[in-house]
Chains A and B, each alone.
Chain A
Amino acid sequence: MNFRGRSIQKHSGFLKTLFRGGLILCLTILCIKVFVQPGHAYQGSNFIVTGELTDSLDQPVKGAHLAALISGNVEILTETESRSDGTWSLRLDSIPDNSLEIRVERSHYISQAITLNQTDLTKLGDTGLFRIEPIELERKIDISFWIATAIFLAILLLIAFEFLHSATAALAGLSITLLVSYIGGAYNPSLMIYTFEQAIGYIDWEVIFLLIGMMIIIAIIEGTGIFQWMAFQAYRLSRGRSWLLVLILMAITVFASALLDNFTTMLLMVPISLQIGMALGINPLSLIIPEVLASNVGGITTLVGTPTNILIGAYAGIGFNDFLVNQTLGVVFALIVMGGYVLYHYRKEFKKRGGGISPKLYAKLEENARIENKGDLWKSIVVFILVFVGFILGERVHLVPAVSAIAGATVLLIWLNPDIQKMIKAVDWTTLVFFMALFMVVGAIQEVGLISFIASWMSRIVGENLTLGIFLIVFGVGTLSTLVANIPLTASMLPIVRILTNSIPGAHSLVLYYALSMGAAMGGNGFLIGGEANLVTAGITEQTDYPISFKEFLKVGLPVTYLTLIVGFIWLLIRF
């Protein structure tokens, strides 16, 4: 036997000894565990006490702190936090001889203590699991409620009266909320509204990324001049018949609004419409105001047509197909009624016959409406169609729309290779910051219970009457939307609508979310200040001899608003 062979023999012997020793040790431990009894009455594997936390509206309460203590003692045996569905589980190594107390604490709720008596503990010991009846936590209205509410109202007013830009107002509100929480909360726990981590948890990142993707796609498409070209074709086709022209322009605006956002749609349509109106010898506002009214309504047919639909879709899980199937026909009916009213209101204007324009002016109009880059246009259309195919078919594989939008934007950036600096600028970071800050601010009023308070009040009024619920949301939100910016309004209504959807029989069809979509969008037609598309239109026309006055807009906008809300309401009753 050589040296190596002697070494192997020595090592294998050691390993055998080690193995035998380990085996004996394991068996010993096993015996101790099975046969040796400790001093306690019960012993063995974990015991689980479980339950569920809800609020007065039967909504789950997440993030509550639960601790198990022996009654009369201060030492915590075990603790946990409730999950997003309100459920919780406490694991105990052993069962105490005396009763067990479960303490439940959550900011903005009144703390509770549940006692498990001997009978309960016996059941726990026998089965290893004890389920407590659902615990309903009551809201605590303290100073943080009033502070968060005041901050939210202040933001709405600052935006409504344009004292601050919407993003600045939302950021200011968020900053104050967090400063009060951290600095005030250090001295008085009642001032703790929420932590920064809790605030961040309210941001819906699907919305943010969907917006980023669509902004890049829109920036590329709008640069092609396709919508201005379509407006010019409408002018040619109408052959001087203003009534026909306005209907075609409204249809183009609806189509554009369904794909782009209303703000961009009007930025594209207003300058060319001004020129067309002057070429026809009519007041261009008779074309432009109907366009903006149509853009506010047309956008609600698709998920991406309005920012409010993006919010609603992401929150309620309503997909692209759902909006198309459930809203399109209702919107078409609303637009028919709108078209009829517009033709009536501007009948004198449309009767005018202008003398036509010179060949020079016609050529100028045609030049201003040219398609800038046909190659880019075709590529943009192909990618745009693929993105929408992604929206439609993606639902089968649970592909969120944000992924389709980001992928489409990336393909366009690579394929067209545009100026990347311009594309970065095209992403409206201010709006994204506004959305993020807004989500967090709305989260604050959810934390302190304002949302629950409003939902509870609405629930008492509506009861189990779904028709009344739809009516309240369509007309209530529609009326508020005439005065208040519809994005913060929609964001704050979403949790309320969720509560009502869960409590009203028949509402599981998500009809209340569609009602919110219609109310928020159609209400934007009421006043000039009702929507950003209205304001940007006025901003452009102000730079010509055709400024839009508050009164002028109101004369058309307010009747159209309520006519379309009525049609929308009736449609929802029929559809659902």
Chain B
Amino acid sequence: MTTILCPTRGGKESHPNQDFAIELAKERGADLLFMYVSNIQLISRSGPPIVVDIAEELDELGDFLLLMAQERAENFGVPANSTVRRGIFSKVLREVILEKKISTVVLGSSSKGAGIVSFERLQELSEGLSKEMDVEFFILQDGKVVFHTEV
């Protein structure tokens, strides 16, 4: 059985991407895995070193966001799993693809330019990983597919 991975940061802007991934999983009869990646390095650069265990706080936040995504998937009759990770997004993505034997990845890019990773970077990352790991990639903006690699 194939597995579709959908990294998400929760919130209404992620809903179109999640809907696409849910629809795709339903169509293909694939497993669905939602992922949240936190990177505390992005926080610590902004001020003094952190004394609060912020990594754990972000993990709990991630759990909550992914639970919301899973509930949405269940409403469409698609069961979904979740995983919360820490680190640099591109590295974590590679690790999870290998670990969970992912066949398809659905990424979202903000059309307003917001977000940690730009569309160009996501495109570059997708092309690279697609060739290297034989994985299908979709990049969506405002719910529409703007980039797709086939395998």
Interface residue ranges, A against B (CB under 8 Å)? 162, 165-166, 215, 218-219, 222-223, 263-264, 267-268, 271-272, 274-275, 278, 358, 360-361, 364-365, 368, 425-426, 428, 430-431, 434, 532, 535-536, 538-540, 542-547, 549
Contacts and interface: CB of A to CB of B under 8 A. Distances in A.
Contacts of A538: 46
A168 B118 CA distance: 29
B71 A430 contact: no
Given A275-B64, A431-B49, 12 more contacts: A263-B47, A264-B51, A360-B71, A368-B60, A425-B51, A426-B51, A430-B49, A434-B48, A539-B46, A543-B38, A544-B11, A545-B11
A478 B45 CA distance: 25
A183 B38 CA distance: 47
A532 B49 CA distance: 11
Given A275-B64, A278-B65, A360-B71, A428 B48 contact: yes
A428 B51 contact: yes
Interface residues of A, dominant DSSP:
helix
Contact of A275 (B13, B54, B61): B61
B61 A428 contact: no
| List of 6 A-B pairs having minimum Cβ-Cβ separation, nearest first | A545-B11, A539-B43, A535-B46, A532-B47, A267-B52, A368-B60
Contacts of A218: 51
B47 A543 contact: no
Interface residues of B, number: 34
A223 B53 contact: yes
A536 B43 contact: yes
B19 interface: no
B1 interface: no
8 contacts: A218-B51, A278-B65, A425-B51, A532-B48, A540-B43, A540-B54, A544-B9, A547-B115
Nearest to A268: B52
Interface string B63-104: 111011001000000000000000000000000000000000
Contacts of B111: none
Interface string B23-47: 0000000000000001100111111
A358 B74 CA distance: 12
Given A278-B11, A547-B115, A540 B58 contact: yes
Given A542-B42, A543-B116, A545-B11, A536 B47 contact: yes
A267 B42 contact: no
Given A542-B42, A546-B11, A361 B48 contact: no
A308 B38 CA distance: 31
A481 B67 CA distance: 41
Q: Please indicate which of the listed interface residues B14, B52, B65 has the most CB atoms of chain A within 10 Å of its own CB.
A: B52
Nearest to A430: B49
Contacts of B11: 278, 544-546
B46 A368 contact: no
Contacts of A544: 9-11, 61, 65
A215 B95 CA distance: 36
A549 B112 CA distance: 11
A361 B68 contact: yes
Contacts of A274: 61
Contacts of A368: 60-61, 63-64
A267 B54 contact: yes
A271 B47 contact: no
B48 A543 contact: no
B132 interface: no
A538 B44 CA distance: 11
Contacts of B38: 543
A271 B46 contact: no
Given A223-B53, A368-B60, A368-B63, A535 B47 contact: yes
A219 B51 contact: yes
Contacts of B58: 271, 540, 543
A360 B10 contact: no
- Between A162, A368, A540, the greatest number of chain B beta carbons within 10 A of the residue's beta carbon is seen for A540
Nearest to B46: A535
Contacts of A535: 46-47
A542 B47 CA distance: 15
A545 B64 contact: no
A360 B63 CA distance: 12
Contact of B61 (A263, A268, A271, A425): A271
A81 B137 CA distance: 76
Contacts of B42: 539, 542-543
Nearest to B110: A545
A558 to B, nearest CB: 20
B61 A545 contact: no
